[in-house]
Amino acid sequence: MCEAIVEGQLVSAAPDAPKEAACPACGGAVTKRKRRATDGQVTYFYRHKRGVGEECPLRYHPCQR
């Protein structure tokens, strides 16, 4: 997911964003991750921690709101 909640505020995943946050849909713990595209561009996103948010709608379909 592109956004998460930190101290009650909705923040976007970015290089300077906090590493740990909460999911806006279920409140479960998420961590910031990054991936590198084939063109070398880096993309940041939040992902649920292992075993957290199994029933969250954003876990498997992060573009839905």
Q: Taking a C-beta distance cutoff of 8 angstroms, is the pair 46, 32 a contact? A: yes
> Structural domain of residue 40, as residue ranges?
3-60
- Rounded Cα distance between 60 and 37, Å, is 20
35 inside domain: yes
Q: Domain count of the chain?
A: 1
Query: Tell me, what amino acid is at 9?
Result: Q
Whole-model pTM: value is 0.82
65 inside domain: no
Q: Return per-residue pLDDT of the chain as tens, 65 residues.
A: 889 999 999 999 999 999 999 999 899 999 999 999 899 999 999 999 988 877 887 776 665 55
- At residue 62, the pLDDT reads 61
